[in-house]
């Protein structure tokens, strides 16, 4: 039986923004400083002495900057349909011919023998459930990157309303595709490590939105021979590792997640701010709508302040949770990219970090399709 939902009152957005302004943790860290100022269109389309042209020029980023005001209106609430609820838990349509290898004992799988683009709707329902259970799944040898971009979007749109990222570059005409792009001859790594010791920046994507993403797709277009792996952490296991007394203390607490620092960072680099930044308040422990698992829902990149706590109290508790998540190598997985790889994760029960660990200028180019899901909900603490 589904546990009874408790009401999670949401303060108006303006209040959340005010909390951010009044001083919370503000350790926004973004290692991949792409943007229109560092993007070299000619080097990407024609190649250089050191680099061939981009393999997928149709996916090269544009920013469509507008001078005076953001291009898009604030996002409005919508009713999310969670397809994982309709899935056959024996996965006959998804895994019939699949070879599944576990990445670790508690997070991650690698799958061969499935072509995601060919899945029926029943197969897609099963995909949503499978990913919710495994947290992150790397599907190898996919044709996703070769599909017309609109077809890839139509596919991803099955899982929820497309999120349009407020700051990232996107392929021309397809603002719903979030691009991760580090160009040939990019000096990001050299610049970044002048002021930071590492590039690890744990986060779940765009948690400052009222309805953050659920089943999320990221696929490789072009990448370095080695490096640029992605780290994932199981936020449900991170919750389970805590003592019952500590879990009980976290229940009922809510925190502000802010997109303001990301927008400021983008503006500072001459980049886009397509929508006015927002901040939203979410429960610190959220429950997955299909598996019923409880998971920590805080991340160092966007979670700023615990509602009702003084700054020192809030920083103390959030820093403990961020450390707990970052140090939990025994509930983390590291995903290696290869041509044709599509990685699908459930953004509600995971956090991840890119790694900026290669500095020889090789291009890294990925596309993300980011369906939004339900507003995070908390269910009451249950002792074992
Ligand atoms: Fe991310």
- Contact call for residues 276 and 321 (beta carbons, < 8 A): no
Distance between Cα 78 and ligand 1 center (Å) = 23
CA distance 116 to 126: 11
Query: pLDDT tens digit string along 89-125?
Result: 999 999 999 999 999 999 999 999 999 999 999 999 9
Find the mean pLDDT for residues 333-342.
Answer: 98
CA distance 83 to 106: 23
In a domain, 380, yes or no: no
How much is the pLDDT for 33? 65
How much is the pLDDT for 68? 63
In a domain, 90, yes or no: yes
Give the CATH number of the domain where residue 292 resides: 3.60.130.10
Distance between Cα 4 and ligand 1 center (Å) = 31
| pLDDT at residue 382 is higher than 70 | yes
How much is the pLDDT for 28? 78
Between vectors from CA 37 to CA 26 and to CA 17, what angle results, nearest 5°?
25
- Contact call for residues 201 and 353 (beta carbons, < 8 A): yes
Do β-strands 279-283 and 332-335 pair in parallel, antiparallel, or remain unpaired?
Answer: unpaired
- Which pLDDT band, with edges at 50, 70 and 90, does 25 fall under? low
Distance between Cα 75 and ligand 1 center (Å) = 20
- Contact call for residues 212 and 206 (beta carbons, < 8 A): yes
Find the mean pLDDT for residues 57-68.
Answer: 84
Distance between Cα 25 and ligand 1 center (Å) = 19
| pLDDT at residue 66 is higher than 90 | no
At a CB cut-off of 8 Å and minimum separation 6, what does 261 contact? 26, 28
Distance between Cα 10 and ligand 1 center (Å) = 24
195 or 136, greater pLDDT: 136
| pLDDT at residue 45 is higher than 70 | yes
CA distance 248 to 335: 33
In a domain, 3, yes or no: no
How much is the pLDDT for 364? 93
DSSP 8-state symbol, 278: -
Name the residue among 203, 258, 198 with its Cα closest to residue 233.
203
In a domain, 200, yes or no: yes
CA distance 255 to 270: 30
Mean pLDDT of the chain: 91
In a domain, 277, yes or no: yes
CB atoms within 10 A of CB 95: 17
**Region for residue 64 given its phi and psi (left: phi exceeds 0; alpha: psi -120 to 50; beta: otherwise):** left
Distance between Cα 352 and ligand 1 center (Å) = 6
Distance between Cα 186 and ligand 1 center (Å) = 20
Distance between Cα 178 and ligand 1 center (Å) = 10
| pLDDT at residue 8 is higher than 80 | no
Distance between Cα 97 and ligand 1 center (Å) = 30
Percentage with pLDDT > 90 across the chain: 77
Distance between Cα 230 and ligand 1 center (Å) = 9
In a domain, 350, yes or no: yes
Query: Whole domain around residue 296: which residue ranges?
Result: 15-369
The pTM assigned to this predicted structure is 0.93
How much is the pLDDT for 201? 95
Find the mean pLDDT for residues 122-142.
Answer: 98
In a domain, 7, yes or no: no
Query: pLDDT tens digit string along 234-259?
Result: 999 999 999 999 999 999 999 999 99
Beta-sheet strand order (sheet of 279-283)? 279-283, 254-258, 303-306
In a domain, 8, yes or no: no
Distance between Cα 384 and ligand 1 center (Å) = 33
Q: Calculate the dihedral angle through the C-alpha atoms of 150, 152, 155, 156, rounding to the nearest 10 degrees.
A: -110
Distance between Cα 92 and ligand 1 center (Å) = 31
How much is the pLDDT for 1? 38
Distance between Cα 165 and ligand 1 center (Å) = 11
**Number of independent structural domains in the chain:** 1
Distance between Cα 382 and ligand 1 center (Å) = 31
């Amino acid at each position: 039986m589904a546990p009874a939902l408790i009401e999670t009152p949401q303060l108006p957005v303006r209040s959340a923004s005010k909390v951010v302004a009044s001083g919370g943790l503000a350790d926004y860290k973004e290692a991949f400083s792409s943007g229109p100022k560092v993007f070299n269109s000619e080097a990407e389309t024609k190649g250089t002495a050191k680099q061939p042209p981009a393999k997928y020029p149709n996916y090269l980023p544009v920013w469509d900057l507008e001078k005076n005001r953001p291009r898009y209106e604030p996002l409005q609430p919508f009713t999310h349909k969670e397809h994982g609820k309709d899935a056959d838990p024996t996965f006959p349509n998804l895994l019939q011919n699949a070879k599944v290898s576990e990445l670790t004992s508690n997070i991650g799988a690698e799958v061969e023998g499935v072509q995601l683009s060919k899945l029926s709707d029943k197969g897609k329902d099963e995909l949503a459930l499978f990913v919710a259970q495994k947290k992150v799944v790397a599907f190898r040898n996919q044709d996703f990157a070769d599909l017309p971009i609109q077809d890839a979007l139509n596919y991803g749109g099955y899982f929820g309303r497309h999120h349009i990222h407020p700051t990232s570059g996107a392929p021309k005409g397809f603002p719903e595709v979030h691009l991760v792009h580090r160009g040939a001859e990019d000096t990001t790594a050299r610049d970044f490590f002048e002021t930071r010791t590492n590039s690890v920046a744990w986060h779940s994507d765009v948690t400052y939105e009222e309805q953050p993403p659920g089943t999320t797709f990221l696929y490789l277009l072009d990448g370095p021979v080695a490096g640029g792996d992605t780290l994932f952490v199981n936020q449900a296991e991170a919750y389970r590792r805590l003592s019952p007394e500590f879990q009980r203390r976290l229940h009922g607490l809510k925190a502000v997640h802010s997109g303001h620092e990301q927008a400021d960072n983008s503006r500072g680099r001459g980049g886009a701010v397509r929508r006015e930044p927002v901040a939203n308040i979410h429960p610190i422990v959220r429950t997955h709508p299909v598996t019923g698992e409880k998971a920590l829902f805080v991340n160092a990149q966007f979670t700023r302040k615990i509602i009702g706590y003084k700054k020192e109290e809030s920083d103390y508790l959030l820093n403990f949770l961020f450390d707990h998540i970052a140090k939990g190598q025994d509930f983390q997985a590291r995903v290696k990219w290869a041509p044709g790889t599509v990685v699908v994760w459930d953004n509600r029960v995971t956090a991840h970090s890119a790694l900026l660990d290669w500095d020889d200028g090789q291009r890294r180019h990925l596309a993300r399709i980011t369906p939004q899901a339900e507003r995070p909900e908390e269910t009451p603490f249950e002792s074992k």
